[in-house]
Chain A
Amino acid sequence: MRIIQIFLLTAGLLAARAALAIGPVPVSLRNVPVPPVPGLLDGVNPIVVNKNAAIALGKALFWDQNVGSDGQACASCHFHAGADGRIKNQVNPGHNNGHTFDGLASGGAGPNHTLSLDDFPLHQFSNPADNTSQVIFSSDDVVGSAGSFGGQYKTTSQFSGANDQCLRSADPLFNVNRIGVRQVTSRNAPTVINAVFNHRNFWDGRANNVFNGSSPWGERDPNAGVWVKINALSVVKQKLHLINSSLASQAVAPPVNDVEMACQGRGWPDIGRKLLLRQPLQNQSVHPQDSVLGTLSLSNGTSLKPGLKTTYKSLITQAFNPQYWAYSGVGPFGAPVSGVPYNQMEANFAMFFGIAIQLYESTLVSDQAPFDLSPIDASMKPTWRNVVADTAANTTTLVASLKNGVELFIHNHCNLCHAGPSLSLAAVATNAALLKPMPGASFGPPDTPIAFGPNALGPFNAASKGGLTQYGNTVTRDTNIQQLPKLMDLGFTNIGAVAVEDDPGLGGVDDFGNPLSFTEQYVGYLLGNAAGIVDPGLDNIRACDFISPLAYNLQINLSNYFLPSDDLIADGSREGVLRNQNCLNPVTAFIPAPTAAQANSAGSKMAVATQGAFKVPTLRNVELTGPYMHNGGMATLRQVLEFYGRHGNFSSDTQHFHLASFSTLLNSEQNITDLTNFLLSLTDERVRYQRAPFDHPQLTVMHGQVGNELQLTAGNPLNASLAQDQPLVIPAVGAGGSDAPTSAFLSASP
């Protein structure tokens, strides 16, 4: 009996270690709560007093082309499964080679080029499975998103006219024969669907988790704030601190960016001045069955009409606490160069815009993909009982393929970065919330719900293998491609898609010179440099949750780790609250004393991996969200799988270890098919057919300029030196969606 007990105990421990070794399993997004934003809708004095009105405001603003200085809506770059599916005039010259356009693999290039499958991938090897084979083509150009013509902002109209008055001319870079084209962003537009789960947004994380009400920078911006009416006679600028609000932080950047949506020098009060008295979607049809805007639509039956039967000002007064708009005077808010002074509603327009967009985008959760709806087995892997093909035999074949696809996803360590229900480590708060025990709370497929707690992302606390715990670390320590441990931001990795020097990503700095990364700030914390910490929470990182420990409080001989001989202190002792609860290995709940950190500041023990790191994107609806990677360098899922199979394009000191761990088995046709089938199972049909909540008003996107990359038709109404826009009308759809499915990028097969 005793032997049996020992055997069972041993077997259990081995099973636990095996589960821990493979890390978190991908899990359903069903019933996963979006991260809470304290103070936004709750409390005695909430900012938003009518959530439905705020969502309607956000949806209208997101799709309204009047938001841009020259016809660009937020949706112009996020209309296609939340991403950008345009193929013409989408090329940015990249960061190197003097910002000059390269020729692409098809032979075409530059402004107003029409992309084709022959242009991809942007970095090509003679053997796509081997990154040591000869490079047969390489470009640092980026497939981004066409935005604004730019220009210098002058003024705008309060009531009508889509375009701001700006001094416009042909851009010295974005032109064909000196006829200007729209500028193109230097990174690919990621999907907004499920972006609410990201702790930070933008590829480099610069959309801060904390929304300050007026800029993307959270607490980093010393001038940020919102105007609060104290009483009839006084209004003061106060700091705003809304956590889990990186969507709001993100939303307030493009409308004042002169590449994406604006003329240079346009401020948020100017956008308020332009929009507040207007009908939302003034020139765009709104379907009468729109899931959010239908009751405000002027359309009826099959007769679609533009605009809503209200004004932006009216929606704001319905949605927001009057203390943010009801001050009748002017004065402290400033004034435009010409025109009457700004009022409080105009002065706070960035806050209204950011919060409304965030609340709308928080509804864009795709949690009904076949993967989400599949029951799970005891190891929390999908059974695929919900999958049906055209014949019984094909169903059997497809289920087998899907099961192998999941195994490949896990055993090639895709799961270690694409973790949790949003399939991204960047969903810090959500992943942590699911891992925190909460009696009675569950999520996941209806037939087999998953309890909140340490095993929510896999049996035997498998989540910890990915650095995930209920405590929500934003920094971890993991290994690089040479298996050297380095501190890095959880949810941001360098996979080697492009050369590090092409784009620093997370390794860059903000507008104030501070590092974007949390890792650099955590290093500052370890060094005792409080001045270097500009984001909250960096003094609450749990060292014992790191994937690779920072320190061992053991008398052992290990390089690259802080040891007792370095002078260790208990993690949390500096704050007076030890961070050693629920540690898998309590001897790792230690950090170096500041003097020890300073003595090793240039050494391997304090090494970081932030250069060239980018946010781990969600994989949901990935079938529809190409082109892929932050540079848009790959057009098909097959190209992506080949990229991982060859361990990336560019190796560097900061490249993540996981790129080394992909099995060459990934390169077999069957495995590529199976893994692709798993990725296809992440598509929510509501996204594919633009059904609620993914329905939308009419949108006219500027799909390049009239002409081609060699010759343009000048005479844009904005300025004679600019090329005419080539419009592409995306029709309005109601809650029932469209009969036509959304296609993959370039209509390519996976």
Chain B
Amino acid sequence: MTLRAQADALLDMAGGLATNEEALDRIAAARDRLAQPLRVALVGRVKAGKSTLLNALVGDLVAATDAAECTLIPTEYHDGITYRAWKVHRDGRIDHALFLRDDRGARIDIGDSPVEDIVRLLVEFPSPQLRDLTIVDTPGLGSANREVSQRTTDLVGGQDIAPADAVVYLLRNWHAMDRDFLACFNDSLGVDVPAFNAVAVLSRADEIGGGGPDALELASTLAARWASSDVLSSVVSGVLPVAGLLAQSALGLTNVEFQALAAIASCAPAERAAAFVSVARTCAPDRLLTVPAETRRRLVAQLGFHGLRHAVGWIAANPFANAGDLAHELVRQSGLDALRTVLFDRFAARTDVLKAVQALDVLEELQRSGQLGLSDDLDAELERVTVNAFELTELRTIEDLVSGHHQLPKDLHHEARQLLGERGTTPAQRLGAVAESDVGPLLGERLTRWRAIATSPQSLPDEQRVARVVVGSLSRIGLSDHRTGSVSA
């Protein structure tokens, strides 16, 4: 019986014990959420680049982006048959909203409705990436308009009618407010899986350290430093540097724009260097005359200053490349792939587990607040599931490895994380098998090795603890038919 099924059964059992309407409603909502895709919220301070990152992640320009603060209402993005939008009013009514796309980008027209009256927007568009995942774009925290920020706090802190299951937290710099927010998010989950469902993104990585050519390297160093800090590692499972603007600009890159970039690349290196000192010089009418100043200005706005310089430099070094190649290069540079892996492999693959965690959390809270009638059966079953569910044990062990609570030699550390399913839960992903035929031999080899670690008196306590869980995971692969896919999800 999967953890999700067990959680479902527990909710059934609890339904009969509810002592009031509110408890019944919460149980029904928890059951509904079990059936929905995983909800990942993109959260961060104002202008952290959330909407830009969303566009890059879903591979479509669906969220409005601007230099000024522009996301004022939490907006959910779902997979659907066409581009359309709805607005959810404070009183629960749902109306159609206009989804508009023109040369100014995408935006949602909410008509005459005041912003304060709308609690969320729902956007639907065809997106294979969103079949197992709903992404929620949120208003910025720390906004000068505090009511706007409060909507995000409610959404993530569990006060919202449809809270998030996982969070991608965008940071440009580290502020006490960020730590408090993430700690609040972790606290809102009663079950002990801290930090697994939160990942931090060092956003706008292309602007770090003045946006020079080494900006992304600096961002990687900074992200690694943050990830190793006690404060951050206790609230998120990792820190990834991502330049969302680079990835987003790759989406809409046209041949015309590529040609303009190539024309700039054709200027003499000294001329380019003199212009690339500042945005003002890059866009000056008397410089880089091969391309009109207005086009240059638009390119800077689209790619960012770092992106423009990188793209031009790359084209100069790859004279036979085309727009597709450049788009590929920009996405590679942006660091988006690593984040996609986390979202679509780690979070999405564990949707059921994360959902079940939320359901168990609801039940525990209802029990604590006395909204469920006394039942030894429910108590015992809830405790049994919470303590014994192997999926939760795996999550906790990954968490302990990520946070440094369990210390292992470097090679064992990385292998353990992979075998426990951090980078995907299919047997092939866990074992790092290139071909299906490799799974069997690799499984045997790993099982022998980790069993030895688990039982050897030479092993340190941490090594033994982790090895026991890894052996459990490998045994489950052995027990299941690995050709059917994921093991624990």
Question: Is B one of A's binding partners?
Answer: no
Interface residues, chain A, with chain B CB atoms under 8 Å away: none
